[in-house]
Amino acid sequence: MSILLGHDPDYLRRRDAVHTSREIAQQPAVWRQIGQLAAESDTVTATFLKPLLERPDLRIVLTGAGTSAYVGEVLAPSLRRRLGRRVDAVATTDIVADPLACFAEDVPTLLVSFARSGDSPESVTATELATEVLTDCWHLVVTCNEHGRLAIRHADRSTAHVLLLPEAANDRGFAMTSSFTGMVLAGLLALGGPDDALVERLATAAEQILATRPASAADLAARGYSRIVYLGSGALHGAAKESALKVLELTAGRVVALAESALAFRHGPKSVLDEQTLVVSYESNDPYTSQYDRDMVTELLRVIPERNLVTVTGHAGKPAGENAWTLPGIEDVEDAALALPAVLCAQLIGLHFSLAQGLTPDNPFPGGEVNRVVQGAIMHPLSASSRPGQQVRIRAIPARTGDRADVSSGASRR
């Protein structure tokens, strides 16, 4: 095997970093596979979605937990613009904790569930709660694991459609990398339509980043930063959240990371800045929104050393600051698409920070303090007694032949 992200494969094996490194590096190929699958399955997907999208009263809810929730946060702003309708990003953790608030309006709803494994406790429970509470509810499941409970549960339902990503997207490393960008792309193509030219542009940009930026990420990691701030506006705010999570996960919390929008950062979060803080600013491709991103960069340059600021931008030329990571050839794509190569930059930073900390990126928590698939959450049934004083809408869901109750998760499985 040749050098991988700037490292010898033997070194990566010794450091337990092979899976994470491969899964970061494979993303251009995975995106092209997803683009091909989207084109091949477009007729089937459109048959399911077209009648729903023709309904003017349809609400679309994008959901998932952790990284999968951030998929929805990246997609929601762009899909609102594309579809001209209400599109909300609501985490499964919020749905499960308070379904009557999340679905307070009993309107026709398409719940789009994103999940790498589909086996986290909230994944199936959120879909079942939506079906129980709402009169009309359909499900689009986007997952990397055909054997997960979420995919199996919805595979044969007439009110559901399951989109399976290529097997390679089902990351084996602890942190979600190609699964995150893969689900963002799959969601964008499913709800916005196949776009071979866009996929190729994104993959080409990613290949250039992978060829040129591992050394830059290693240099940042060698400086000993104890904090990282990711800034992004609109769809890139969701990308910033995912980027911060990658640092927290891959460094086992040793490097503190947070995410904010450019405008919100001034309102208190700016207090985090010190000499050991690295700031990574994602610049929007939207001409209006990018003004606020650039204003924030200009302001930051007055209060932190220029070397502590990295600007990730699709615009070549003269972005503020000396450390500009340019994403080539995608200066006019919408921000949800821009988020894919932008987050790839953050994945490189997270990997190299983990290695610099002496950790094992494929499993930063060898003691099991945090798990690859969330464990330990008890799913409680929703009943009239759950909300004293409120009228609770609960509808029985017919069990399918072969299903058995799963009391521990509040869902059913085969």
Question: What pLDDT digit, counting tens, does each position of 105-122 carry?
Answer: 999 999 999 999 999 889
- Residue 181's closest CA among 359, 343, 37, 369? 343
pLDDT of residue 364: 87
Question: What pLDDT digit, counting tens, does each position of 228-262 carry?
Answer: 999 999 999 999 999 999 999 999 999 999 999 99
- What distance in Å separates the CA atoms of residue 27 and residue 34, rounded to the nearest whole number? 10
Q: CB of 413 within 8 A of CB of 406? A: yes
Question: What pLDDT digit, counting tens, does each position of 59-90 carry?
Answer: 999 999 999 999 999 999 999 999 999 999 99
Q: Are strands 227-231 and 277-282 parallel, antiparallel or unpaired?
A: parallel
Question: What pLDDT digit, counting tens, does each position of 185-211 carry?
Answer: 999 999 999 999 999 999 999 999 999
The fold of the 209-361 domain, in CATH, is Rossmann fold (3.40.50)
Say yes or no to pLDDT of 133 above 80.
yes
Question: What pLDDT digit, counting tens, does each position of 280-294 carry?
Answer: 999 999 999 999 999
What CATH architecture applies to the domain 1-194+376-414? 3-Layer(aba) Sandwich (3.40)
DSSP assigned state of 381: P
In the predicted model, what is the mean pLDDT of residues 153-178? 96
Encoded tokens for 351: 């990997």
Tokens 């952790």 identify what position? Answer: 66
Q: CB of 115 within 8 A of CB of 140? A: no
- For CATH 3.40.50.10490, list the domain ranges present in the chain: 1-194+376-414, 209-361
Q: CB of 235 within 8 A of CB of 286? A: no
The single-letter code of the amino acid at 12 is: L
pLDDT of residue 1: 47
The share of the chain scoring above pLDDT 70, in percent, equals: 88
Helix, strand, or coil (residue 140): strand
The share of the chain scoring above pLDDT 90, in percent, equals: 83
Split at pLDDT 50, 70, 90, the class of 182 is very high
- What distance in Å separates the CA atoms of residue 20 and residue 179, rounded to the nearest whole number? 11
pLDDT of residue 322: 65
Whether pTM > 0.85 for this model: the answer is yes
Helix, strand, or coil (residue 323): strand
Question: What pLDDT digit, counting tens, does each position of 364-392 carry?
Answer: 887 666 655 656 677 788 875 455 445 55
Q: CB of 267 within 8 A of CB of 373? A: no
If you average pLDDT over every residue of the chain, what do you get?
90
- Residue 239's closest CA among 73, 395, 105, 78? 73
